[in-house]
Structure 1
């Protein structure tokens, strides 16, 4: 969604499909609350995180075989 300046106020532009899904119409009142935060990483930061994850990984033994039935067996 996009925030636009309309006169001396800010407005959030809600796409038609979202408004339709939410049953919103012109003139409706809505409440906006923060429900969490999103962190965006730069390419360099993402590469660093990926390098740390790779350093923590360990190879599986050559004879390792995943058995879905065994993993999901209930005893």
Structure 2
């Protein structure tokens, strides 16, 4: 991979094999979970898990009777 300049930032293009392995699509975010001078380890960011982790850290819980219905939410 080659480093490219995008505006004031640097970026890389991910090889198709990595995109397929992580099931990435435009707009997805990835996190660097480990880095050394020779290696970067990426994982696909999971916003839902991040939200649940933050809720747990704040000791917030979902109501017992809470059910998320994606179709109902998308009707709004």
Query: Which category describes the TM-score, using the shorter chain as reference length?
Result: 0.3 to 0.5
TM-score of the aligned structures, taking structure 2 as reference length: 0.40
* Larger RCO, structure (CA 8 Å, separation 6 or more): 2
Which one has a larger percent strand, Structure 1 or Structure 2?
2
**Structure with max Cα Rg:** 1
